[in-house]
A and B are shown apart, each in its own frame.
Chain A
Amino acid sequence: MPSMQPIAAPLPFTVKSKLSVDRVSMVFERDGKRTEVLNNINLEVGDGEFVCLLGPSGCGKTTLLNAMAGFLSPTSGEITVDGEPVRKPDPRRVFVFQERGVFPWLTVEGNIGFGLSKLTKAEREQRIAHYVKMVGLQGFERTYPQELSGGMKQRLEVARALAVNPDMLLLDEPFGALDSITRLVMRGELLRIWEAERKTIIFVTHDIDEAVQLADRVVVMSARPASIRQIVNIDIAHPRDISAPRYLELRDGIFQQIGLAHKV
């Protein structure tokens, strides 16, 4: 397929590099058993870019995301953000879990304001109000997560992450637990927020359609030990027509790449 690019497609010259993954490998040892999870991953992500890590379940893409966030350190190789090596978690790059990550003991306001304790009260309130509005949770400021729907909890978690004004969002299958309609709505919301805030987004998913709908580039990963099979540029402007020939062509290319027959 001519549109597919070789492994490790270079960034366009105009984009500044934000995140760089350099020859990263990861080996876990448990009960004397060695499990190789990541195998020589090389990746450059540009500032403000939306990149999807796509691969089969259990392939190690979440491990890679955890290493980018600083929760895990690679066995070998290095991850740098703005040229600085990643050693520990940092509010400049916020990890978004599936909806389970919101704090059930805090209200919507309390969750969004969680990372803002260094601000003055007035600044904090203003910031909270801004993000409550951005994710459409007006009227639920004093509500506890237990009383919110799955989609609302997910939006709350994204708002909590955005409120600390990070450069980068790391999303781990954020819509995986939602029903398919809510998931579609949430994708639109995420794109709207991304276009407004222009954060760098790394988005882990095992859903091919989701990846092709959202990303500037899709990083297709192999089964474990994960390596990068291919990086696919999605050269379609947003909003994307998901029945357009170019969309289908890119999607089918990835289907083939992953080795799935296109019939059920």
Chain B
Amino acid sequence: MNALSQPAKWERFFWPVVATGLLLALWYYSVRWTGTKVFPSPREVEKGLAELLRHHVLWKDIIDSLRRVAVGFGLAVLVGIPLGLTLGWYPAANQVVNPTMQILRPISPIAWIPVAIIFFGVGDNAAIFLIFLGAFFPIVVACINGVANVPSVYRRAGRNFGLTPPQLLGRVLFPAALPQILVGLRIALGIAWLVVVAAEMIAVDSGLGFLVIDSRNSGKRYDLVVAAILLIGAIGLILDVAFRRLETLRSVRWGFRHES
């Protein structure tokens, strides 16, 4: 295979399947050869997954996790986008808020767990608050940078056609910044999915994160732990792939590099 040529269609599926197969084999034989009693083999994990599905608890956990992400991420979008656009639009306001934001931004949402529990008690709202925190900053920052990076020709063209400042924001700055905002949203969604699992281990008693910790605590069911972990990965991937589809919308495609 020439490095410059496009791989053939079958190769694009074949090699990843081979790699996955090899990893599974490595896992399987590692478990066998070490004779571990704690860590499950792929086969046991598969059985564990089937067991979870049979008892109908899995769907509830998946839906609870997705619901928390939807609410927390949704709130972060609703608050973060208008705030970010405004801060990008008024650099003076941004200068006032920026130092505070730069201090809050690198804090892992996990560190907020005790604070979240004081505010909201143990329950859904605490988890949602943590997801909101995790998703909020990347969205705000993406909007600020997106607006700041809009080429001045677009602003000037907008002003030339007699737009008022709110119209300029809505009809020029927002669509011009949208590709960069989408990148921020995608990062934020990834973080939200990371945070929900952590939050569910501590603040609530349902969801995939709870499933992981509960499977361990109630009888060291590591087959279920690993099943839940793989499921978390698969759902995260699906969310990301689904979100990436937005990048192919015609009105934002210009802002992304796509192989034609």
Contact = CB atoms under 8 A, between A and B. Distances in A.
Contacts of B171: 114
Contacts of A144: 250-251, 253-254
A105 B254 contact: yes
**B interface secondary structure, majority:** helix
Contact of B153 (A89, A100, A105): A100
Interface stretch (A37-45, A91-99, A232-240, A249-257): A91-99
A164 B254 contact: no
Nearest to B151: A100
Interface string A82-111: 000000111100110100110111100000
Interface in A146-190: 146, 164
Nearest to B176: A105
A69 interface: yes
Nearest to B167: A117
A89 B175 contact: no
A60 interface: no
Contacts of A95: 156-157, 160
A71 B175 CA distance: 22
Contacts of A71: 156, 159
Contacts of B175: 103, 105-106
Contacts of B15: none
Contacts of B254: 104-105, 144-146
A115 B154 contact: no
Interface in B135-177: 151, 153-154, 156-157, 159-162, 171-172, 175-176
A115 B253 contact: no
B252 interface: yes
Given A106-B251, A144-B250, A101 B153 contact: yes
B178 interface: yes
Question: Which of A94, A104, A105: most chain B Cβ within 10 A?
Answer: A105
Nearest to A172: B153
Contact of B160 (A94, A100, A105): A94
A47 B154 CA distance: 28
Question: Which of B151, B160, B171, B172: most chain A Cβ within 10 A?
Answer: B160
Interface residues of B, number: 20
A145 B157 CA distance: 16
A261 B53 CA distance: 86
Nearest to B159: A89
Contacts of B151: 100
Interface in B179-212: none
Interface string A114-125: 110000000000
Contacts of A88: 159
A100 B254 CA distance: 13
Given A71-B156, A105-B175, A114 B253 contact: no
B178 A114 contact: no
A97 B157 contact: yes
A164 B252 CA distance: 26
Contact of B162 (A91, A97, A146): A91
A88 B163 CA distance: 12
Nearest to B179: A105
B199 to A, nearest CB: 36
A264 B178 CA distance: 48
A90 B255 CA distance: 29
A89 B164 CA distance: 12
Nearest to A92: B162
Contact of B161 (A91, A100, A104, A106): A91
A30 B118 CA distance: 52
Contact of B251 (A69, A89, A105): A105
A164 B171 CA distance: 17
A88 B178 CA distance: 28
Interface string B242-260: 0000000011111100000
- For the complex of A and B, list the 10 residue pairs with the smallest distance between their C-beta atoms, beginning with the closest: A115-B161, A104-B254, A105-B175, A89-B160, A91-B162, A146-B254, A105-B251, A89-B159, A101-B153, A97-B153
15 contacts: A69-B160, A71-B156, A89-B162, A91-B161, A94-B160, A101-B153, A103-B157, A103-B175, A105-B252, A105-B254, A114-B161, A144-B250, A144-B253, A145-B254, A146-B253
Given A95-B160, A100-B151, 13 more contacts: A69-B160, A91-B162, A95-B156, A95-B157, A97-B156, A97-B157, A101-B154, A101-B157, A103-B157, A114-B171, A115-B161, A115-B162, A146-B254
Interface of A: 69, 71, 88-91, 94-95, 97, 100-101, 103-106, 114-115, 144-146, 164
